[in-house]
Amino acid sequence: MDTQRKKGILDVCVLAVLKNKPSYGYELIGAVSQCIPISESTLYPILKRLESSGCLSTYKQEHNGRIRKYYQITDAGLVRINDFLTEWEEIQQIYAFIKNMSREESK
């Protein structure tokens, strides 16, 4: 998959996980990896970028004597998911067109 396309999809996958509940890095990796493999070195720049763009916010909370950083989706993050879903419908139409045209050329 194209790197830029994958990057955008990973952003939305992270936001989709956070739509259900706030989460921390390790938990996010486990959830997103069910769909697309992701490592810490990939996740944390995504989280930083999403926070900078206002799509998520953070807070810290103690867990088993350690401070854990949690990420939660914002209204801007919800808009980002909805924008992606709208764009995806357009991409599906383009895909169908390309597939159709390819079949016609094969004849």
CATH topology (fold) of 3-106: Arc Repressor Mutant, subunit A (1.10.10)
Q: Are 23 and 70 in contact (CB under 8 A)?
A: yes
Domain ranges (residues) in the chain: 3-106
Provide the whole-model pTM.
Answer: 0.84
CA separation for the pair 10, 24 (Å, rounded): 16
CA separation for the pair 19, 17 (Å, rounded): 5
Answer whether residue 26 shows pLDDT above 70. yes
CB 87: neighbour CB atoms within 10 A? 12
Q: Give SS3 for 107.
A: coil
Return the pLDDT at 1: 65
Query: What digits encode the pLDDT tens for the residues 36-78?
Result: 999 999 999 999 999 999 999 999 999 999 999 999 999 999 9
